[in-house]
Amino acid sequence: MTDSRDEAAAYEAPIDRTEQPVNVKLVLALAGALVLAFAGLSYADDESASRYILFFLGVLATIGIFALFGGAIGILRFSGRKKESGFARNLLVDAEDGILVSDEASGIVFANRAYLSLTGAEEPDDVRPVERVFASDPDVAESIYRLSQAAREGRALQEEFRVAGGPTGVPAWFRVRVRPLDTPGRKAATVWTIADVTRDRERQENVFQELQHAIDFLDHAPAGFFSAEADGTIGYMNATLAEWLDHDLAKIGSGTLRLEDVFAGDGASLVATIQGGVGTVKTDVLDLDLKTRNGQSFPVRILHKTAYSPDGTAAPSKTLVLDRSRARGVADPLRAAEVQFARFFNATPIAIATVDANGGVKRANASFARLFPDVMKDEHRLVLSGVAEAGRAPLGEALARAASGQSDMKPVDGLIGGDSGRSARFYFSPVENAEGAEADGEAAIVYALDTTEQRALELQIAQSQKMETVGQLAGGIAHDFNNVLTAIIGFSDLLLSNHRPTDPSFRDIMQIKHNANRAAGLVRQLLAFSRRQTLRPQVLTLTEVVSDLRMMLGRLLGEHVTLDVVNGRDLWQVKADLGQFEQVVANLVVNARDAMPEGGKVTIRTSNVTADEVPGFNKPLLPATDWVLTEVQDTGTGIPEEIREKIFEPFFSTKEVGKGTGLGLSTVYGIVKQTEGFIFVDSEMGKGTTFRIFLPRHIPSAVPEAEVETVTKAEAPASAKDMTGQGTVLLVEDEDAVRSFATRALESRGYTVLAANSGAEALELIDEKAGGIDLVVSDVVMPEMDGPTLLKELRKRNPSIKIIFVSGYAEDAFKKNLAEDEEFVFLPKPFALKDLIQAVKDTLG
């Protein structure tokens, strides 16, 4: 019996007041209830009292039986008795960490033996709360205060501090935790845990010191060393390599230094694409060039080590760098040649790789890694996987011929795989060693030239030349049409002047003139495309222009399409024809509406584009200068790629017959080009289309500009009624119908007309009249002698003679052949009778 008691005592805590105290009030209340019950029974009759007494005795007997069973199976515990054993209690008593439980009512209610040992208490009566144990040490006062505050607020907190003397008189590190504890039947308690972590701290300090020694050794080693993350950010570099590269060691590791900052050329691409299998460690030896901060390069040999986890993610790579430019001892010609070849191999802009008979890449230079990163990252490294599927067959055939030893093969062009839109030209040659066998499994050498920009330029130049050719054709046709339409409109006016509105023929003649004017509108669109129309450029702020157009554009779009206008701030000015620019925007908005039959949204944006931002648009033909950008974006069906290059051609239309002339976008193209701008289209099927118009920024000169419109089209004032005049007019026109109409029109208004069908005949008439001619009306494009040449000859005979040029071309088409100070009036064809009469009258004054 004694041994069992000693064993039980061994599991008891030095302080354990966790048993429930006896509730005296409840006991007194139960006793009083029983006394009152029996007192009440004394006044009852014998028969009733017997029944009640038997009932109470039965109840008490039942309670007693349940209490006995509850005590036997451990449901009930009797006051004053402790459990002789318990796994949880034994675990707390023998825990290595000191544990103290306290509450406000009873103070310390539990403390295990480890707590007494750690706090220096020899007897249970010496046990003190944590606050008092470390109260004498000012170095830990703040930590103890924070722990006490957390205990009062019912929060969990942990602190770690060093005590110089320690509770036991020895310097030590302690980790103290505090947390609240809620127990049923008792007020909230606080659990304090204290652990001695001195050994852990000493071990950490030793490891840190050893690590510091290793870092010091690594920093001053004769070789360079760095580690890089998977995204190319350099996280560590030793002092030796930092000195070689002239970088500040203190700034390395902040995420600002990357592989491309230390490797020359495309070396960073080659290092970044090195990849091993899942769950492997791969080490590659590469001869590359590093570059210093000021751009100087030097050859190195690197040992690049990368570990890959089972899920395929790469750990930070570790790279050892050996400087091959600073030879020690006697120079080795073979080593120097090897270094030189390695530098040449990796620095060349041509992508080079050796492949086996199956097309697997064995070795590759930096340019190849940059051009084909997906191939280098693939586990099998098949060169054919880097080419679009449509070009793999001819590439595979060329590879097979090279692997069989054939040479002098023609290059193969192919698109680089993926959605990069890049292209390359491939060359192949066989590989053989001195004995004629394959070298290390290498069967062929692949050379690849990036032809992306060349191909884009070729396509754009071809498209530009085609548009130029079509434009010249359209301009020539428009010139001939204008002569015909001038005659139709002119003779219609002559007929109308001889018919009253009540005449039966008057309506027919009006219909002829109306359709001729419609045809003239189509010709103007052709001239706009061929860039031969008459422009009236003026300084514009596109923010104001687009804002003024908003209401009109809203009516064009209708109810099912939303218009959103986003104007850039502080937009630069441009110099353009206001009416023509409005026509450009209107045409693009109408096309956007037609591309959204179910409704959608049209967005018009304006912004400034600086010269530095131009490369970001990836448009090789767009010069790097300042532009004002106007974007018209829709959410429509998009433009298929096969017709995207044809949309600006005249008469090309995807609409049904009778629903469009096909001149809308060609007019836009011509107006933009004549304004010295550029227009590009980007479209994605099912997502929409964006047209981008780049107009050159207008910078006002310090000297006041000359008047923008040096020539004007004469228009009759609304109030003018008297259209008659006097004077001799020399009419020079090679088109018989136009000459006949103009002669009759001028003679009908009182002018004397001398008609000539060429420039030479006009000079003869002038010489005959000897200064009797008041005005010359001349066509511009004529055989033998054109209008500008005629004007030069006229100035020799009469420097003050007045002249009106008429033509289907813009004045810019011939103005460059005249002197800058030359004065003339320009009347574009086709013109009506009143236009000609008004121009003559205004010029003669």
- Mean pLDDT is highest, among 274-283, 313-322, 621-630, 703-712, for 621-630
DSSP assignment letter at 27: H
Give the pLDDT band of residue 626 (cuts 50, 70, 90): very high
What pLDDT score does 658 carry?
41
Q: Which helix (H) or strand (E) holds 343?
A: helix 333-347
Q: Render 788-815 in DSSP notation, one character per residue.
A: HHHHHHHHHH-TT-EEEEEESS-THHHH
| pLDDT one-digit tens code per residue, 12-63 | 666 666 655 555 666 677 777 777 776 776 666 666 667 777 777 777 778 7
DSSP 706: P
Mean pLDDT score, 700-719 = 43
pLDDT of residue 473: 65
329 pLDDT band (50/70/90 cuts)?
A: very low
For residues 268 and 655, the model is more confident at: 268
pLDDT digits (tens, 9 = 90+) for 447-459: 888 887 787 777 7
Which pTM value belongs to this model?
Answer: 0.43
Please state, in angstroms and rounded to a whole number, the distance separating the CA atoms of residues 326 and 480.
Answer: 78
Q: How do beta strands 802-807 and 825-828 pair?
A: parallel
SS (H, E, C) 184-252: CCCCCEEEEEEEECHHHHHHHHHHHHHHHHHHHHHHCCCCEEEEECCCCEEEEECHHHHHHHCCCHHHC
DSSP label of 611 = G
Lowest mean pLDDT among 108-122, 280-294, 611-625: 280-294
Task: Report the pLDDT value the prediction gives residue 537, as an integer from 0 to 100.
Answer: 76
Task: Please report the pLDDT score of residue 706 as a whole number.
Answer: 41
Residue 711, pLDDT > 50, answer: no
pLDDT 10s digits, 638-683: 888 777 777 776 655 655 444 444 345 777 877 788 788 898 888 8
Average pLDDT in the chain: 75
Kindly report, residue by residue over 481-513, the tens digit of the pLDDT. Answer: 777 777 788 788 777 777 777 777 788 778 887
Strands 361-364 vs 351-355: parallel, antiparallel or unpaired: antiparallel
Phi, psi of 258 (to 5 degrees): -125, 170
CB within 8 A of 680, min separation 6: which ones? 617, 619, 622, 691, 692, 694
C-alpha–C-alpha distance, residues 7 and 128, integer Å: 27
Q: How many CB atoms neighbour CB 19 within 10 A?
A: 13
User: In the prediction, which pLDDT does 714 show?
Assistant: 37
